[in-house]
Amino acid sequence: MAEKLYMIALSPTMEKGTIIKWNKKENDSFTEGDVLCEVETDKTTMDYEATDEGTILKILVPEGGKAAVGEPIAIFGEPGEDISDLLEDTIKEEPTNESVVVKEEINDNSLKDATASKTLENGNLDRIKISPLARKIALMKNIDISKIKGTGPGGRIIKRDVENYEPVQSVKDIKKDYTPIQVETSDEDVVIPLSDKRRIIGERLSQSKYTAPHFYLTVSVDMSNLLENRKMLKKKYNLSLNAFIIKIVANTLKKHRRINATLNNDSIIEFGRVDIALAVAQEDGLITPIVRNADKKGILQIDDELKILIDKAKNNKLDPEEYTNATFTISNLGSFGIDEFTAIINPPGSAILAVGMIKETPVVENGEIVIKPIIKMTLSSDHRVIDGALAAAFMKDLKDTFENPILAIL
């Protein structure tokens, strides 16, 4: 019996996913545990593993297409099975605005084009008057119908309008005899549709910034001792600075429980665990892999875990449990040459530490000017949970520990 294969929730917050790649094509067979396709969720790309065995009879959502959780993405069963009833069903199931279920007969390849979904995603198209034929041709040619001028009755877009449509010619296309000035970059506007991830980042951070009253405290930390210690260890261990920072922050948080907390309706939860997220830049946004229970781990273990997490983050391979529900976040832009900055709190945490670069800085010490490796750290705090004095006490403790790392083991 052929069955529909449904999109499942691959992360706790996933509402819909984009199929990045089909690992199985139509007529490919699979067994339990095979990776059927790769799905981009709100944060990462996940493997969709088969929980059953069979043969892919029909792919309903092409690569690049989206499907909400619970929507069919393919039909599978025995080779050669009649799936016309199931196809009929999928036509009846109301597709969401974002998802495009390919509704053609099996032997009609015309709409299989993966680009088909893109045109429909580009907005609310159901108000555009267009003949069914013209709509189909536009889908096949991947033309954005909102840009076509209709010449049918009442401005209806018809076949000839789509066929005669030419995208606005760009300056680059004009062929002239003069030698153009060689400029590598294009002068055209580039329109990049929001990825799910970009959208979620936007939503979450706006919500954080709008709802949590942020305040900021900056301290200058003398890193001489810590760098000395790191240098000393370097003969044996090549440890990242981030591992040290996470460890020291974790230990300090353990002493300042209110900084490691969250607002939960009419109560404040001071977390028992210290799960520290580190913001990692990716091409299409950032993600925050988490070192769990960092207070209970040594720097070596933290460093090892970080290497794995950062590698996975950069390849979009993080599992949801590896990036959700941190109690505190660190954002380090030191490697970009940033002196200091303020970061937006990453919920459910109530504070985030923004770390700048280590900079040789003249410092007055005992009436003399000395050069010290100074780093500026800025804590953004949610004033609903954390008061200024509490945050200041935490920062003082943090500064002391960074300047005298031995305090971390007291």
- The answer to whether the CB of 385 falls within 8 A of the CB of 350 is yes
**158 vs 249, which CB is nearer to other proteins?**
158
Phi, psi of 315 (to 5 degrees): -100, 15
Amino acid identity for residue 185 in this structure: T
Given the complex with other proteins, which of 149 and 231 has the nearer CB atom? 149
Min. distance of Cβ 160 from other proteins in angstroms? 8
Nearer to other proteins, 153 or 180 (CB): 153
- Residues 132-161 binding other proteins (CB under 8 A) are 132-136, 151-153, 158-159
Report in angstroms how near the CB of residue 128 gets to other proteins at its nearest. 15
Query: Least Å distance between CB 311 and other proteins?
Result: 47
**CA-CA distance, 160 to 351, in Å (whole number)?**
59
CA distances from 325 to 99, 214, 281 (A): 29, 20, 18
Query: Residue 409 in contact with residue 244, Cβ under 8 Å?
Result: no
Enumerate residues 383-402 that contact other proteins by CB under 8 A.
none
Q: How far is the CB of 79 from other proteins (least distance, A)?
A: 28
- Active site residue: 383, 388, 400, 404, which one? 383
Q: Which of 57, 111, 54 is nearest to 87 (CA)?
A: 57
**Which residues between 303 and 342 bind other proteins (CB under 8 A)?**
none
130 versus 277: smaller Cβ distance to other proteins: 130
Tell me which of 96, 115, 131, 342 binds other proteins, using CB under 8 A. 131
Nearer to other proteins, 137 or 290 (CB): 137
Give the binding-site size for other proteins (rule: CB under 8 A). 11
Q: Which of 72, 32, 83, 79 is nearest to 53 (CA)?
A: 32
Of residues 110 and 186, the one with the C-beta less far from other proteins: 110
Nearest distance, CB of residue 101 and other proteins, angstroms: 14
Q: Report, in Å, the least distance between residue 196 CB and other proteins.
A: 29
Rounded CA-CA distance 187/171 in Å is 8
Stretch that binds other proteins, among 55-63, 93-101, 117-125, 129-137 (CB under 8 A): 129-137
Q: Which of 336, 326, 333, 337 is nearest to 354 (CA)?
A: 333
Q: CB neighbours of 161 closer than 8 A, spacing ≥ 6? A: 134, 148, 149, 150, 151, 152
Task: With residue 68 as reference, give the H or E element that holds it.
Answer: strand 66-68
Residue 383: active-site member: yes
Binding string to other proteins for residues 87 to 126, with x set by CB under 8 A, is what?
A: ----------------------------------------
Report how far residue 60's alpha carbon sits from residue 36's, in angstroms, rounded to the nearest whole number.
13
Dist. CA 303–CA 37, nearest whole Å: 32
- For other proteins, the binding residues (CB under 8 A) are 131-136, 151-153, 158-159
Catalytic residues: 383
